[in-house]
Amino acid sequence: MSFGQRVDLALADKVLKVAVERTAGTAEAKRALAVEAFPAFEDARTRAAAIKDHVIAHLGHYLEMFEANAIAAGAQVHWAQTADEAATIVVDLCRKAGAKSVARSKSMLGEEIGLPHALAEAGIERVETDLAEHIIQLAGERPSHIVWPAMHKTREQVSALFRAKHRDPHVEETIAAMAESARRHLRAEMLGADVGISGANFLIADTGSICTVTNEGNAELSVVPPRVHIVTAGIEKIVPSLPHAIHMLRMLARSATGAALTQYTTFYTGPKREGDRDGPEEMHIVLVDNGRSAMAADAALKEMLRCIRCGACMNHCVVFRQVGGHAYGGTYPGPMGAVLTPALDGLSANRDLAHACTMNGRCQEVCPVKIPLPTLLRGWREKSWREGLEPVSMRQGLGLWRQAVLRPRLYRMASGATVRAMRLLARQGWIARLPFAGAWTKYRDMPAPEGGTFMAQYAKGRRR
Contact set with another protein (CB under 8 A): 7-8, 11, 318-319, 322-323, 354-362, 364-365, 375, 378, 380-386, 390, 394-395, 398-399, 401-402, 404-406, 408, 411, 415, 418-419, 426, 428-430, 437, 439-440, 442-455, 457-459, 462-464
Nearest by Cα to 19 from 208, 202, 145: 145
Q: How far is the CB of 307 from another protein (least distance, A)?
A: 20
To another protein, the closest distance from the beta carbon of 378 in angstroms equals 7
Across the strands, what pairs with 127? Answer: 103
Report in angstroms the alpha-carbon separations of 49 from 2, 42, 304, 409, 413: 35, 11, 11, 48, 49
- Report the residue number, 96 or 433, with the smaller CB distance to another protein: 433
DSSP state of 388: T
DSSP classification of residue 198: E
- Least Å distance, CB 139 to another protein, is 25
For 108-145, letters b (16+ CB in 10 Å) and e give: bbbbbbbbbebbeebebebbbbbbbbbbbbbbeeebbb
Q: Cβ of 425: how many Cβ atoms within 10 Å? A: 15
Half-sphere exposure of 23 (CA within 13 A, CB side): 28
Q: How far is the CB of 344 from another protein (least distance, A)?
A: 20
Which is closer to another protein, CB of 11 or CB of 224?
11
Distance in Å, CB of 151 to another protein, minimum: 17
Q: How far is the CB of 59 from another protein (least distance, A)?
A: 24
Is 103 or 339 the residue whose CB approaches another protein more closely? 339
The closest alpha carbon to 364, from 332, 336, 394, 401, belongs to 336
350-356 long-range contacts (CB < 8 A, ≥24 apart) are 350/3, 351/380, 351/384, 351/389, 351/390, 352/2, 352/3, 352/4, 353/3, 353/328, 353/329, 353/380, 354/378, 354/380, 354/381, 354/384, 355/381, 356/3, 356/7, 356/319
Identity of the residue, 21 or 125, whose beta carbon is nearer to another protein in the bound complex: 21
Q: How far is the CB of 451 from another protein (least distance, A)?
A: 7
Residue 69 CB, nearest approach to another protein (Å)? 39
Closest to 304 (Cα-Cα) out of 272, 340, 259: 340
Nearer to another protein, 319 or 369 (CB): 319
Nearer to another protein, 167 or 444 (CB): 444
- Residue placing its CB nearer to another protein in the complex, 85 or 390: 390
Nearer to another protein, 216 or 352 (CB): 352
CA distances from 40 to 43, 328, 333 (A): 5, 34, 29
Report in angstroms how near the CB of residue 51 gets to another protein at its nearest: 24
C-beta of 260 vs 394, nearer to another protein? 394
